[in-house]
A and B are shown apart, each in its own frame.
Chain A
């Protein structure tokens, strides 16, 4: 049968013996087809509660006073959240607003740069033939296994020579490119752009950069959006390197948060109010872009 021949559905059904009976078979429906019963939802509800509870509980404690922590069943938020939050924000040791601003713009710059450089490199690896291309791609993937700790000592020395320790640039510069990003875009572009499209553009006389711009960037958009989200979340939450290289006057949000757990703050209601405050921005991002984040993880897994 040639590929184009349409197959009438009825014929296919008849060619399978007892197709209807099998489809209606009780077991098949119970196992895959129909809606699952109570236990599936009960399980998911437990998972949901255990995902949300620590956040809710930290809000309960953060909106109470110093005694709330000692009550084993404190479920209802108190009225002190704004007071507690303002004592975090107002504390000169934490530098909350500079930290928030540092986190926002450093994560944004890093994510934007990773998306641009990864799309360019991914396009070259996926769609352009060049000497050494495959070997270089293997090299990129191999670098993903190298732990971050292997470079921190010389990087610290380098940045202190430059006088950049304590500067936010010291966390932006090393993160401007990402091996994962290159790998991600390569995989995506390889599958989503047919070679004929590029050939057609070349025949029409488009330069390489124009082909990249019109064909590559257009095709890469969904993957680029996901890469942006992942990189943004990752760099927002990054702690080890910023903790080493930034000083306490000019922190990012996680570094500022880590300062909450010190001898200045023994009152957990204030500490957890700070945690809630610092978690809100990413939770907002999650509400708007969580769907994309989920589909990004699902997609990456299929290909990776």
Chain B
């Protein structure tokens, strides 16, 4: 199988694509292929990885024009997995000569500055956590708080977010507005707002309603389609908007 991999030595933009021939066996993932390239063909290829089991969020990238986790993407199943997304430039502009039938196209996650090859600067994505102060300010106490299974269920989806950034990279609003906080941070705000154990929950909702937050969202729902953990940030944002306007 041929891999057409975006390269950028000094960052900012994709400078060219390199073509590699990889021996693909059943069960092999895109991450496995990238390691084969780095190990035996081109040690200069840079990409992030850690858990190889779809839990750490390191390996978010654009594969065949869909944001995915490389470690969870089976190469032989790529042809059958179609994901329909609302297009924007990074998802539509294909490199010359790419043949989707016979080649896997691997590019950096859109909407974040490219640092090198498949590595993007995640700072704008993570900075939102700090901006919105997405943490609990604990109260003194020595007992665990109670929470019924039903209350726990309210936040179940949202606590599963691995902060991989796939949603951020799939979002046409993030593509256009550098300042937009993005789906993951807003879903996380909603997670805290819905957590019945916390007393000052209102602040998370107010933070999410900042002008560069939920109001910018067009409810395109690309984020819901690409999320590897079924977090469905779009649903949370819809509710944030509703809570804000009532």
The answer to whether A and B interact is: no
Binding site for A on B (CB under 8 A): none
Binding site for B on A (CB under 8 A): none
